[in-house]
Amino acid sequence: MACSRRACLVFMAFLGAIMAILGGVLIPVGNDVIYTSIKEGVVITPDSDAYESWIEPPVPIFMEYWVWDLKNPDQFKVGQKPVLEQKGPYCYREYLKKTDIVHNPNGTVSFKSSTKYVFDRDLSVGPETDKFTTVNLVAFTLGNFIQYSGRIPKDAVGLIHELANAELTLELSVHDILWGYEDAYLKLFQDFLGEGTIPSTQFGIFLGSNNTAGPVWTVNNGVKDLSMVNQVDVYDGMESLPWWSTPYANMINGTDGAAFHPYVQEDEQLYIFVPDICRSGYVLFDKTIKLKDIPVGEWYLPKELYANSSEVPDNVGFCTPDEYSCVPTGLINVTECYDGAPIYFSSPHFLYGENLLEFVEGLEPIEEEHRVYFALEMLLGVPFQVDNRLQINMRVEPFDFLPNAEGIAPLYMPILWLNESTVIDDENADLFKSDILAPQRLLYSFTYILLGLGGGMFFGSIIALIRSKPKKTKVDEEFLEDTVKYINRENDPDAHLYEPNM
């Protein structure tokens, strides 16, 4: 049986209201479904979807090095400005794996992180046997130790230097500076003190860090509080750091940078703890872009982290050994953290440095090429692209007790800079789009279709009902008036005058 027009409109309005209500209900229900799915996927438990990826990253990671070649070593020794030339990149494939994993009853997970580097000639400008000239890091470390500790008589240093047949500048290979070479001073100490009296006669910036497991990390598993997932609780037995002068500077904040909490917001400061630079830092949101057709947020390390305490008062805690020993803006002094070695970190090419470029030649800082950068998928809190850049510098200065070092100009000498980088590959990008984005978009599309279509049907039907309501005509009004008068004629003496024409 066909329904009347008004009945059909009423039914359509009812159906539209049901669809709109269902769409509205699906919004929180859908959000709960997505939240539950994400939580089950990112918490650090053996049954979570991302557990295997947490143990061993599925995307390629690379460590690239650029060394600074000292072109005028003789002039440098007599106080002239060093002329430097960048050589690189020398690229290594980096393999990370978590080992010795222990799930603690308090909601944390402990583990060690094993790292292995394999040289990739195809992605490098040359073999790792390429040579370059740099300052003797051990010589200036020894000079710094003697100058400021007073533990060794200065008169003995010249003799040690001559007996070791050491030089203030060295020609080394890329492999040597990274992974180790036999140092003249260390060899002399071993010969003098006896075999086994010192750990090794080898010296290299990353000596002992290839194919080894580092200290124990303990992080939150996120089960009780998803916002705390991957947050560092204890590092190498420490809940705070011992090297800085304020509680703020010594705080261990954030994750290791491999992952953050889900549902990242644009106004957050995302903290990262970086053991290599002996401190925590943070990145800030810049803008939203698309990476392999996936919406991601661009995050960057702000220059304030490299600022002198005169510019950022909270940074006074990073002045060592006290607030009167602050380094220029652009540097991080890690001397205390590196057993007295005069090591200073910065951005590559002294990006953000204050007056540091005045003392060297050959550096050209470019923010896009030399800043720390994250492309972060903010729903899961996972970086899909990382460029983690850092420059290693050594403080050099004249030492009257070190032969041929009397005339050296005091400055911060760049040694090398690196970029630890990764970007999501096509396979994992497609997997993310099919497993995460597609179901989410389907759910939200269905919800908004119900809301839009149901709302349209409801309001459209209501408007149609209003417009279809019968209108009173003038004839109808006269007939109604005469009928009323006729019914009431007994009470009206003149009712016969108003009898309707029946």
Rounded percentage of the chain residues whose pLDDT exceeds 70: 79
Q: Give the per-residue pLDDT at 196.
A: 72
Chain centroid to Cα 21, Å, comes to: 41
Do residues 219 and 362 share a domain?
yes
Do residues 263 and 167 share a domain?
yes
Do residues 269 and 147 share a domain?
yes
Q: Is 57 helix (H, G, I), strand (E, B) or coil?
A: coil
Do residues 383 and 483 share a domain?
no
**Is residue 473's pLDDT more than 60?**
no
Q: Give the per-residue pLDDT at 30.
A: 55
Q: What is the DSSP string of 225-263?
A: -GGGTT-EEEETTBSB-SSSSSTTTTB--SB-SS---SS
Instruction: Please state which of the ranges 62-66, 68-72, 156-160, 380-384 shows the lowest mean pLDDT.
Output: 156-160
Distance CA 469, CA 453 (A): 24
Residue 373 lies in a domain: yes
Q: Give the per-residue pLDDT at 28.
A: 62
Output the CA torsion 367→369→370→376 (10° steps): 90
Query: Which residues span the domain enclosing 477?
Result: 472-502
Do residues 265 and 366 share a domain?
yes
Residue 433 lies in a domain: no
Beta carbons of 300 and 287 less than 8 angstroms apart:
no
Which residues 6+ apart lie within 8 Å of 46 measured at CB? 103
pTM for this entry? 0.84
Q: Give the per-residue pLDDT at 191.
A: 84
pLDDT-derived band at 395 (thresholds 50, 70, 90) equals very high
Residue 316 burial (CB count, 10 A): 18
Q: Is 470 helix (H, G, I), strand (E, B) or coil?
A: coil
Residue 324 lies in a domain: yes
Largest Cα–Cα distance in the chain?
145
Instruction: Please state which of the ranges 4-13, 439-448, 459-468, 484-493 shows the lowest mean pLDDT.
Output: 484-493
| Mean pLDDT within 300-306 | 94
Going through 124-253 in order, the beta strands assigned E by DSSP cover 131-135, 169-173, 181-182, 202-203, 212-220, 232-235
Do residues 327 and 409 share a domain?
yes
Q: Give the per-residue pLDDT at 159.
A: 78
Domain C-terminal end among 424, 454, 483? 424
| pLDDT tens per residue across span 369-389 | 999 999 999 999 999 999 999
| pLDDT tens per residue across span 306-329 | 999 889 998 999 988 777 778 999
Structure tokens at 58: 């599925």
Domain C-terminal end among 424, 457, 491? 424
| pLDDT tens per residue across span 123-152 | 999 999 999 999 999 999 988 888 777 666
| pLDDT tens per residue across span 207-266 | 989 998 889 999 999 999 999 999 999 999 999 999 999 999 999 999 999 999 999 999
**Is residue 468's pLDDT more than 70?**
no
Do residues 267 and 391 share a domain?
yes
| Mean pLDDT within 277-291 | 96
| Mean pLDDT within 444-469 | 63
Residue 448 lies in a domain: no
Domain C-terminal end among 391, 424, 457? 424
**Is residue 92's pLDDT more than 60?**
yes
Q: Is the peptide bond before 321 cis (omega within 30 degrees of 0)?
A: yes
Q: Give the per-residue pLDDT at 325.
A: 79
Residue 466 lies in a domain: no
**H or E element that contains 411:** strand 411-423
Do residues 231 and 96 share a domain?
yes
Beta carbons of 113 and 95 less than 8 angstroms apart:
no
Residue 412 lies in a domain: yes
Do residues 217 and 141 share a domain?
yes
CA angle, residues 430, 431, 437, in degrees to nearest 5: 85
**Is residue 491's pLDDT more than 80?**
no
Do residues 396 and 490 share a domain?
no
Do residues 254 and 132 share a domain?
yes
Q: Is the peptide bond before 89 cis (omega within 30 degrees of 0)?
A: yes
Number of H helices, E strands in the chain: 11, 17
Distance CA 248, CA 282 (A): 13
Domains: count for the chain: 2
Q: Give the per-residue pLDDT at 375.
A: 97
Q: Give the per-residue pLDDT at 501.
A: 46
CA count, 13 A, side-chain hemisphere, 449: 6
| pLDDT tens per residue across span 399-454 | 888 888 899 999 999 999 999 999 999 999 988 888 777 666 666 665 666 566 65
Q: Give the per-residue pLDDT at 495.
A: 47
Distance CA 254, CA 233 (A): 9
β-strand 270-274 against 279-291: which pairing, if any?
A: antiparallel
- The overall average pLDDT reported for the chain is 85
Beta carbons of 158 and 420 less than 8 angstroms apart:
no
| pLDDT tens per residue across span 185-201 | 888 888 887 777 788 89
CA 318 → CA 239, 245, 285, 307, 312, distances in Å?
18, 7, 24, 10, 11
Residue 39 lies in a domain: no
Residue 403 lies in a domain: yes
CA 293 → CA 263, 288, 424, distances in Å?
19, 12, 12
pLDDT-derived band at 498 (thresholds 50, 70, 90) equals very low
Distance CA 502, CA 500 (A): 6
Q: Give the per-residue pLDDT at 497.
A: 44
| Mean pLDDT within 60-79 | 97
Do residues 497 and 388 share a domain?
no
